[in-house]
Amino acid sequence: GQQLNQSPQSMFIQEGEDVSMNCTSSSIFNTWLWYKQDPGEGPVLLIALYKAGELTSNGRLTAQFGITRKDSFLNISASIPSDVGIYFCAGQLTNAGKSTFGDGTTLTVKP
């Protein structure tokens, strides 16, 4: 089946640094999603991308839908301690049915 490779698996950064993570797939998707999960909570949707090449921002977050439709990246600028958590990417091929999830990037921000 489809698989997403999300990297890096974990990141340890200093407060104020920028962060970049990405997802790649061997198959195309027509929607890319990025979620953040705080400890003990469910994932929360951060950004949804619907068009190849699309670049979307949400505050300090910026995500792009790769032009080949097989990858996406998420950047976080000027990280703060509350950015700590697990970030998941997800791809959707059709407008119904299952999504495919990456294994997550665990972000630790040192004050």
Q: Does position 59 bind another protein by CB under 8 A?
A: no
We find the least distance from the C-beta atom of residue 42 to another protein, in angstroms, to be 4
Query: Which position has the token pair 């790649």?
Result: 24
Q: Which amino acid appears at position 48 of this protein?
A: A
Which two structure tokens, joined as six digits, stand for 109? 């921000």
Reference 61, options 103, 44, 40, 94; nearest CA is: 44
Q: Does position 14 bind another protein by CB under 8 A?
A: no
Q: Residue 81 carries which DSSP code? A: G
Q: Does position 55 bind another protein by CB under 8 A?
A: no
Site residues for another protein per CB under 8 A? 31, 33, 35, 40-45, 48, 50, 88, 90, 92, 95-99, 101-104
